[in-house]
Amino acid sequence: MKKKMYITVILIAGILAVFLFGKYVIKNEHQNKPTIDLTVYTISSSDTQKWNKVKQFETEEAIYPITVKEAASSEEIFSNIIEDGFAIGFGVREEEVKQFNSHLGSDIEDAKNNKLIGIEFFTFSNEDEGFVVADFDYGKKEYNSQKNEKKELYKKLYEAFKE
């Protein structure tokens, strides 16, 4: 009788261990985050050097490897971020963005035929440091609503830059 009880307890403990271990393995498999390449365009070589120190940063949603490219002018940064929808510019003054937007035509589109609304400037400091991103009309309300989530992403990116 004692022998049957020991075997039953061992079997129940084994089944419980297999169940918990299986659940742990399945849970850890789904924690792989996607990798999304992000290009940062700068104008000054000092900003380029600072950005090169930020190899990548991570959020709850994804891992972002950073590629830094130096541009010759703010106009080159604008054309690069329009061409590459997820790239950002850094080191461009807000006045240059306003000037570009005031002369913006309505026929500029990216590779996916999304219409350019304008270049958006935002900053997370008191200094004249800010990001510039291309603001596109994606044609669908649910895609356009995701733009606000990107600001949080850029804020985390700026914090990684300042460290």
Q: DSSP characters for 100-152? A: HHHT--S--B-TT-PEEEEEEEE-SSSSS--EEEEEEE-SSHHHHTTHHHHHH
Which is higher by pLDDT, 27 or 134? 134
Q: Does 75 lie in the same domain as 25?
A: no
Q: Does 7 lie in the same domain as 78?
A: no
Identify the pLDDT of residue 155. 80
Identify the pLDDT of residue 6. 76
Q: Does 42 lie in the same domain as 5?
A: no
What's the CA gap between 23 and 78, in Å, rounded? 48
Mean pLDDT of 132-151: 65
Identify the pLDDT of residue 69. 92
DSSP 71: -
The strand pairing partners of 119, in sequence order, are 134
Q: Does 117 lie in the same domain as 102?
A: yes
What's the CA gap between 44 and 116, in Å, rounded? 26
pLDDT surpassing 70 at residue 28: no
Mean pLDDT of the chain: 78
- Phi, psi values for residue 31, rounded to 5°: -90, 5
Q: Does 144 lie in the same domain as 117?
A: yes
What's this model's pTM, rounded to 2 decimal places?
A: 0.71
Which is higher by pLDDT, 112 or 16? 16
The strand pairing partners of 65, in sequence order, are 56
Domains identified in the chain, total number: 2
Q: Does 66 lie in the same domain as 7?
A: no
Identify the pLDDT of residue 139. 62
Q: Which residues span the domain enclosing 9?
A: 1-32
The H-or-E segment that residue 67 falls in is strand 63-70
pLDDT surpassing 70 at residue 30: no
Q: Does 153 lie in the same domain as 117?
A: yes
- Tokens of residue 157, six digits: 């990116």
Q: Does 80 lie in the same domain as 10?
A: no
